[in-house]
Structure 1
Amino acid sequence: MSREHPTTSREQQILDAALSLFAERSFDGVGVDAIAAKVGVTGSAIYRYFSSKDEILAAAFQQLTDHLLVRLGDPLDDPRAELARLIDVYVDVTLANPEMTTVWNREQPALSQAYQRSLARRQRLYTDRWTAAVSKVYPGHSHAKVAATVRAVQSLAMSDILRPASVRRLDDLADLLKSMMTQALEALAKSPA
């Protein structure tokens, strides 16, 4: 189900509570009643906003994808500038949303087929920008190689999020990750097409 309207504050409270619980316990380890308790409503009240726990997860993923697309704005004409912007936004959004990043990495397979298809269509709007920019900056590589490179580079941004929250993060982590991602992409320049 596609959610075309902006979330209400109650819907956002439900999404935030669910993400926190999903990150802590996993999607399968959390019931609607636990989400409701965290929000301070009854379990049946959740169903006024979402048809299922699956829809809550799908709405959270859609919200993140939409946030990334809005932050990116229109594609830039210069592919190197576009790639730099893609990296900047990806790192900034990833580090600003540790619970969402954890849930994103771990719970996508938990979505039903219908929600997975919808999410995949929305993700393509974003991932196509990455593959187009990388292909222009490092021409001659197959789509499969470019896509694998993009996934690997994106995983660098998420790598630090997956460690325990009790471990202090570096003050310059964003800059470090952006530099590492940029340098990792350079492997394509040295790789045969």
Structure 2
Amino acid sequence: MSTRAAAPTRREQILREAARLFAERGFHGVGVDEIGAAVGISGPGLYRHFAGKDAMLAELLVGISERLLTGGRYRVAEAAGDPSAVLSSLIDGHIDFALDDRPLITLHDRELDRLRDEDRKLVRQLQRQYVELWVEVVRELHPTVPGAEVRSAVHAVFGLLNSTPHLGSAAQAPGLPDRAATESLLRRLAHGAFTALTP
């Protein structure tokens, strides 16, 4: 049986390049023609896949919020009954996102307000559900810690992990940690933050 990942669809290619370009130059700094050129089609050809740049941005930000929540729920179910294992799995999953989808973190920070109200509300709703997955698990591990403090700790860990767009990479600057070292560091810091909840 082959273990090779399926080649990305044209739609997925467009979204990946749109995310990269939007993150590099801002939503308004990128034209449809540039996105098309990045995937080898004409700008007008993009309209066979998306209604426009607004639709791309919405699919990127709603899509990653849905993917995080779905992945989080899967991880909770997979390690059910062992909150320590669940938390480790959630941390690992979010680290993968933070290292592999840096442009989406930048997009969320800069461009969320450009979404239509209904899309922005959906992103926020999905994010709240994702946060609550983490809060429930951390409260199982630290039952004496007030819920508000646990929730603050979860948000703080997200802030830590989502700082990856600012880290650079070993390829960009020799001497910086490579992916494996960065992943290990983020994992230790995240676990340390939650351990610190109980004096």
Identify the TM-score tier after normalising by the shorter chain. Answer: 0.7 to 0.9
> Normalised by the size of structure 1, how large is the TM-score?
0.81
Residue type of the partner of 2:68?
L
Specify the alignment match of 1:85 in structure 2: 89
Give 3-state SS (helix, strand or coil) of 1:45's partner. helix
Deviation at 1:142, TM superposition (A): 4.4
Structure 1 position 152 matched with structure 2 position 133 = no
Residue of 106, 112, 120 corresponding to 2:110: 106
Shifted more, 123-132 versus 79-88: the winner is 123-132
Unaligned 5+ residue runs, structure 2? 1-7
Q: What residue in structure 1 maps to residue 189 of structure 2?
A: 180
1:170 aligns with 2:174: no
Q: Secondary structure at the match of 1:161?
A: helix
Alignment deviations for residues 62-104 of structure 1 (CA, whole Å, 9 cap, x no partner): 3323433454415222222211111111112211222223323
Confirm or deny: 8 A CA contact 2:75 2:86 kept in the other structure. Answer: no
- Could you say which residue in structure 2 is the equivalent of 1:189? 198
Matched residues in 1 for 2:57 and 2:64: separation? Answer: 11
Cα distance in structure 1, aligned partners of 2:110 and 2:168 = 15
Q: Where does structure 1 lack aligned partners over 5 or more consecutive residues?
A: 1-7
**Which residue in the other structure is 1:32 paired with?**
32
Q: What is the one-letter code of the residue matched to 2:42?
A: T
SS in structure 2 at match of 1:188 = coil
Paired residue for 2:63?
63
Q: Does 1:20 align with 2:29?
A: no
Distance 2:168 2:75 in 1: 35
Say if 1:143 and 1:108 are closer, same or farther in 2 by CA, change over 3 A. farther
Task: Tell me which residue corresponds to 1:129.
Answer: 133
Whole-Å separation in 2 of the counterparts to 1:113 and 1:147: 25
1:186 partner amino acid: T
Which residue number corresponds to residue 45 of structure 1?
45
Choose 169-178 or 32-41, whichever is displaced more: 32-41
Query: Any idea what SS the aligned residue of 1:109 has?
Result: helix
| RMSD of aligned alpha carbons | 2.3
> Residue 98 of structure 2 contacts residue 161 of structure 2 at CA under 8 Å; is this kept in 1?
yes
Residue 120 of structure 1 and its aligned partner are, at CA, apart by 1.9
Q: 1:13 to 1:123 in 2, by over 3 A?
A: same
Work out the CA distance in 2 between the residues paired with 1:142 and 1:27: 40
Is the contact between residue 98 and residue 164 of structure 2 (CA under 8 Å) also seen in structure 1? no
Tell me, yes or no, if the aligned pair for 2:50 and 2:56 is still in contact at 8 Å.
yes
More relative contact order, 1 or 2 (CA 8 Å, 6+ apart): 1
CA deviation string 1:103-132 (max 9, x = no partner): 233332332211111212222332221111
Deviations 1:136-165 (A, max 9, x none): 222244444322211111121122332345
